[in-house]
Amino acid sequence: MKKLSIILFLIFTTSFTPIAAKFTVEEISPLSLAFLRFGIAALLLNVVFHYRKLNYKIDRSDVPMFLWLGALVIPINQFFFLNGVKLSFASHSGVTYACTPLFAYLISIGMDHEKFNFRRLLPILMTIVGIFFVFYDSLMKTRVTESNVILGDVLLVFAVLSWAAYISMNRNVVRKYGALKSSTIAFTIGILMYIPIFIFDAHNLDFGKLTVTGMLGFFHLSILVSFAGYFVTTYSVKYISITELTTSTNVSPIVTIVFSWILLNEEISYFFQIGAAITILGVFLSQCKPKERTGGIIN
C-alpha cells in the first residue's frame, strides 16, 4: 500500500504540474511566480536543513558547480518553463518534459558520465520524430490563431534541457554531500540569484486577480511539487527501484494530456496525438533494460 501511495503521489504531482502552472500563470506573472514558488520551497528546505543540524560548508572547488546548479534550477529553468507554459499548452509541456530522461542521458554522455549505448539510438530517433509532430501541430495552431504557441514550445524545450542539465550535473554533488544538503544549497543560491529579476517584475504582481483555482495551482507548484515532491522522491528509493519508479511515472504525460483536455479545454489534434504517442513510446523504450541470460538486469 505504501509503495502504491508513493507512485500515485508522484504521478499526480508530475501530471498536474503543467496544468497547475497553466492556471496560475494566467493570474500571477510568470517571473514573479517563479520567485514565490521556489522562495517558499527554499525556505521550507532550509527549515528541515537546520532541523537535521546540517551545515553549509562545501569545498571551495565545488563553489562554481553549486553556482551553476542554482542558476539552472531556478532562474534559467523557471524562466523557460513558466513562460513556455503561458504561451503554449499544458499538454505540450507534459509531452516535452517526458523527454527529460533522454535529454539527461545525452547530456551525461557529453559530460563523460555515461557512454553511448546503441540500443538507445532507436528510442532517441523516435523521440525526435515525435517532438517534430508536436512542433508541426504548434506551427499550424500558430498560423491559424496568430498566437505564440510555437515560441512557447521552443521555450519548453529549453526548460527541459536546463532541468536535464541540472539532474546530470547534480549526480556527483548528491553523492558527495547528500540529497538534502545539495538541494538546499542549490535552491538557496538560485533564489538569491533570482531576487533582481523579481524586483524588476514586482510591478506586475497583482494578487487581486488571484482566484481559488490560481491558489490551488500555486499550492501544487510550491508545496506539493517543489517541496513535498523532493522528499517523497528521496523517500521512495527505500521501497521502489529507480527503474520501476521511472517506468511507472511514464504514464504522467498521458494523464496530463487527458486532464488538459478536460480542465483546460485544450484541443488535442491528430498530429499532436501521433507525436505524443511516438514520443512517450520512445522514452519508455529508452528506459527498458533487457535481461541477461541469468535473469538479472544489466545497465
Q: pLDDT digit string (tens) for 104-152?
A: 888 888 877 677 777 777 878 888 888 888 888 787 777 666 578 889 9
Q: pLDDT digit string (tens) for 47-86?
A: 999 999 999 999 999 999 999 999 999 999 999 999 999 9
Tell me if 229 is assigned to some domain.
Answer: yes
The domain total for the chain is 1
Element (H, E) at 65: helix 63-71
What is the average pLDDT across 89-111?
Answer: 86
Tell me if 293 is assigned to some domain.
Answer: no
Q: Does residue 195 register a pLDDT over 80?
A: yes
Share of the chain above pLDDT 90, in %: 47
Tell me if 71 is assigned to some domain.
Answer: yes
Mean pLDDT (the chain) is 85
Tell me if 259 is assigned to some domain.
Answer: yes
Q: Does residue 184 register a pLDDT over 50?
A: yes
Q: Does residue 191 register a pLDDT over 90?
A: yes
Tell me if 292 is assigned to some domain.
Answer: no
Q: Does residue 298 register a pLDDT over 60?
A: no
Tell me if 291 is assigned to some domain.
Answer: no
Q: Does residue 159 register a pLDDT over 70?
A: yes
32 vs 130 pLDDT, higher one:
32
The C-alpha angle with vertex 18 and arms to 246 and 233, in degrees rounded to 5, equals 35
Domain that holds residue 88: 2-38+45-286
Tell me if 124 is assigned to some domain.
Answer: yes
Tell me if 129 is assigned to some domain.
Answer: yes
Provide the H-helix boundaries in 119-269: 121-145, 149-177, 179-201, 212-219, 229-236, 242-248, 252-263
